[in-house]
Amino acid sequence: EQDLYESLKDYVSKFGIENFSANTSMLWKLAKLSEKYGQPGESVLLYKLVLKHYRRDTNIRKIREEFDSVTVREKDNYVPLRQYYELVAYRKEIDTLRPPQGVLTKMESWVNSGKADYGPTIGNLDSLLLFTSKRNSGLQSIGASYNEDLFFTTKVNGNWMEAQPFKTVNTRYNEGSACLSKDGKKLYFARCNSPDSFGNCDIFQATLSRDSVWGDVRNLGVNINTRAWDSHPSLSHSGDTLFFASDRLGGFGLSDIYYSVKDAQGNWQKALNIGPVINTRGNEVSPFFHHRYNVLYFSSDGQPLTFGDFDIYKSYRQETN
């Protein structure tokens, strides 16, 4: 059996995108063998891959039973919410230490509007917030329409200032899902339904000029964009890796997360799928690479353990030898 484990592991390591859903039975077999011959934790990762990429004809109930059997100890890492609050109340009685309280507050009326305001993201500084708004939407003769535009607000002395539009970036088409480079001079965003797009939504770039005006707005080109939906850009700290979501053909599921890396000349290379650990048979959208820490956040409706339709997840990059 150990020889089978080694052979199967080598074969699975060469899987392409199409193999994960077509050959989940091999992943399942490898996971079972890994419980006996693999490194600690390897079987759990393999079972997760099966749960992310299985086809409808897969015996998913049996796989979940196997997965639950090898992750039963993980329950020790979680405390029921009611028990947590009881512990906090007890600590209050015997200790002067008070845990911080999270307070959900609505941002000021000069930031929000009477229409939809959404897609917030921190800019290159903690004091800068970018977001998308439909406040400029209106009624046309053919019926209702909406216009998504990009806005920003800055924090001064602890207070968020009045939201301002990116005047030279916004158009009569739809702009949204923006992020800034670390130096604050490159703005990456999605523009939809415009004549200079390859698909219904593409990723664009704008550059801040010396007189502090955003200009040189241009499509990032065929290495990034396709005839499908391409949106939700997020930039790494160094500015040389761009993460985004796309529902292009050839992915693992309905919408996947992709990334592109700049070459030595500063050109974006052909985008690559970020892989089966993050992407599933469902939808992965809204990647956000933290502007200070090496953590990639994203939303998904296809991960094995979910609380609702879309949940928020995070992934850490691990260096391999």
Q: Would you give the distance in Å from CA 77 to the centre of its chain?
A: 25
The mean per-residue pLDDT over the stretch 232-240 comes to: 92
State what percent of residues in the chain have pLDDT above 70. Answer: 81
pTM metric for this prediction? 0.81
* Higher local confidence (pLDDT), 231 or 94: 231
The mean per-residue pLDDT over the stretch 266-283 comes to: 95
Pick from 169, 178, 232: nearest CA to 206: 169
Pick from 275, 286, 61, 259: nearest CA to 190: 286
With bands split at pLDDT 50, 70 and 90, how would you rate the model's confidence at 316? confident
Sheet strands (E) in 102-213: 117-122, 128-133, 139-140, 143-144, 149-156, 159-160, 164-165, 174-180, 186-192, 201-208
Distance CA 308, CA 75 (A): 19
The mean per-residue pLDDT over the stretch 155-174 comes to: 92
Phi-psi category of residue 124: left, alpha or beta, with phi > 0 → left and psi -120 to 50 → alpha: alpha
The mean per-residue pLDDT over the stretch 109-130 comes to: 88
pLDDT averaged over every residue in the chain: 84
Say if residue 57's pLDDT is above 90. no
pLDDT digits (tens, 9 = 90+) for 65-100: 766 666 655 554 445 555 555 555 554 444 444 445
Pick from 83, 179, 77, 168: nearest CA to 124: 179
User: Is the CB of residue 281 less than 8 Å from the CB of residue 302?
Assistant: yes
